[in-house]
Amino acid sequence: MQFLKEIKHRKINFILGVLGVVAAVALVVVFVTMTKASQNETRRLTRDMGFNLRIVPKETDMNQFWILGYSNRTMPQSYVQKLVEENSFYYAHLTATLHKKIEWKNSEVILTGISPDELETNGKKKSKMIFAIPPNKVYVGYELAKKHKLKEGDEIEILGNLFEVERCLTETGSNDDVRFYFDLKTLQLLVKMKGRVNEIMALNCMCSTKGDNPLLALREQLHSILPNARVIMNKNIAVSRERQRKMMDAYFEIILPVVLIICALWVCGMAMINTMRRRYEIGILRSLGFSTLKLMILFFQRAILTGIIGAIIGFWFGTYFSVWFGPSVFKVTAQFIQPIYPLFWITLVGAPLFSVFASFIPVMNAVSQQPAQILKES
């Protein structure tokens, strides 16, 4: 075929064109893979800031709430299921909790029961944000363990019942250091409050609400589902999460087009050099009766082959770089950085189109010239 002979004759120019496409495809693959990894990392890191929503009974005395650190009223645990059944996308990681302050060995301590499941209103399974405590076991806050010299495996008596210490927690610098943590059902039976909770911890889903302050939308939604409850938001955590997500999205939206433009200019430059060097040859072919369409097909066949080869090499090079280098950047979600194989087929179609597009102006400029003028100048 004519275009293959031309490629063989001008190997260096063809290789440089392929390298331009390889660079474009590899950078796209790297950016897409890294963007996905970055979004996972951002989501995980901001998630680990903790729950930013607290759903409590509507009649909660807020003055006492902030003094105690929890509501002095209770509500049915079934409220969690109502939220799940509503299939709302605004709340995630729904975790029912019960808190009770008691006197224990001449000290005030807080008993906290945590439901073993973190339910999702969209039906998806997600990794837990907080520990799950085995029934009839207890997790001990740092200060309590330190003061009473408790260690894992010890048995302690609380409200007349014996519990085995499952874990002694590390220092948090908050009132969590003077808590005993139980499985929710265990604590409900212990304090005779079966089926009751005084708080549902949750996380507002990223991208679910617009603006930096989604509290109004969250409250409107909760009121329509649970009119006897209210939601409190830790705005510092919520705003930080949303701004971090938007910053990363904006970063990649700016960088990727710039990279593609640079690569397109590279491929365009290679096509321009190729057509300029073949100017005399084009004049001869035109004088021999080659039509403009036939010459365009000749050049675009070369561009398509450039794109196909560049796509194959670029995809595997970009994937290898991402899988090799990505875990050193995104340490928390390193295990989730995997080749995106559907992207290969996209690049295999997109790269030839990209190559043809980048070559379009040089090709049209070359084939539109009059053969007599070209031969006269040569």
Single-letter amino acid code for the residue at 55: I
- Backbone CA torsion sign across 157, 159, 162, 164: negative
Helix (H) or strand (E) holding 278: none
Residue 107 placed within a domain? yes
Distances (CA, A) of 241 to 28, 48, 215: 26, 10, 14
In a domain, 213, yes or no: yes
Backbone angles phi, psi at 290, to 5 degrees: -65, 125
Domain termination residue (choose one: 175, 206, 233): 233
Shared domain for 113 and 207, answered yes or no, is: yes
In the chain the beta strands, taken as DSSP E runs, fall at: 53-57, 75-76, 91-104, 107-114, 137-140, 155-158, 161-168, 179-183, 196-197, 199-204, 229-233
38 & 187 share domain: no
Greater confidence (3 vs 251) lies with 251
Mean pLDDT of 138-143: 94
226 and 251 in a single domain? The answer is: no
Q: Is residue 238 included in any domain, yes or no?
A: no
With a pLDDT cut of 90, the percent of the chain lying above it is 23
Residue 316 lies in a domain: yes
Is it the case that residue 108 has pLDDT exceeding 80?
yes
Residues 339 and 282 in one domain: yes
User: What does pLDDT average to over the chain?
Assistant: 77
Same domain, 166 and 302: no
Task: Give yes or no for residue 344 having a pLDDT over 70.
Answer: yes
Q: What is the pTM of this model?
A: 0.57
Are 363 and 275 contacting, i.e. CB atoms less than 8 angstroms apart?
A: yes
Highest mean pLDDT among 37-46, 250-259, 367-376: 250-259
**What confidence score (pLDDT) does residue 82 get?**
85
Q: Flag whether pLDDT at 129 surpasses 70.
A: no
The pLDDT score that the predictor gives to residue 37 is 67
38-52, 130-144, 307-321 — which is least confidently predicted?
A: 38-52
Whole-number pLDDT of residue 237: 57
**How do residues 58-80 score in pLDDT, each as one tens digit?**
999 998 888 888 898 999 999 88
pLDDT tens column, 168-181: 999 888 888 999 99
Output 245 or 35, whichever has higher pLDDT: 35
d(CA 222, CA 78): 14
Same domain, 33 and 108: no
Q: Is the pLDDT of residue 235 over 80?
A: no
Q: Does residue 97 lie within any of the structural domains?
A: yes
C-alpha separations of 51 from 37, 280, 356 in Å: 22, 71, 50
- 155 in the same domain as 41: no
Higher pLDDT, 350 or 182: 182
Q: What is the pLDDT of residue 331?
A: 54
**Are 196 and 79 in contact, with CB atoms under 8 Å apart?**
no
- 227 lies in some domain: yes
Q: Is residue 228 pLDDT above 60, yes or no?
A: yes
pLDDT tier at 111 (50, 70, 90 boundaries)? very high
What pLDDT, on the 0 to 100 scale, is given for residue 339?
79
Query: Given 233, 252, 279, which residue is the final one in a domain?
Result: 233
Which pLDDT band, with edges at 50, 70 and 90, does 28 fall under?
confident
pLDDT of 190 higher than 70: yes
> Which residue among 233, 258, 274 closes a domain?
233
- Give the residue-averaged pLDDT of 334-348: 78
Same domain membership, residue 155 and residue 32: no
Per-residue pLDDT band for 17 (boundaries 50, 70, 90) equals confident
User: Do 195 and 312 belong to one domain?
Assistant: no
Long-range own/partner contacts, residues 61-68 (CB < 8 A, 24 or more apart): 68/99, 68/101
359, burial (CB in 10 Å: exposed 0-12, middle 13-18, buried 19+): buried
What confidence tier does 57 reach under pLDDT thresholds 50, 70, 90?
very high
Amino acid at 22: V
Least confident of 8-22, 38-52, 104-118: 38-52
**Domain annotation covers residue 270:** yes
Average pLDDT over every residue of 95-121 = 87
How many structural domains compose the chain? 2
Domain containing 27 equals 2-45+243-377
Average pLDDT score over residue span 211-223: 72
The counts of H helices and E strands in the chain are 12, 11
Q: Are residues 16 and 152 in the same domain?
A: no
**Could you tell me if 176 and 221 lie in one domain?**
yes
Average pLDDT over residues 311-315: 90
Answer yes or no: is pLDDT of 40 > 70: no
For residue 69, tell me if it sits in a domain. Answer: yes
At 323, the pLDDT band (50, 70, 90 cuts) reads confident
Please state the rounded mean pLDDT for residues 255-262: 74
The pLDDT, as a whole number, for residue 364 is 73
**363 φ, ψ to 5°?**
-65, -50
Is the pLDDT reported for residue 92 higher than 70?
yes
Same domain, 321 and 368: yes
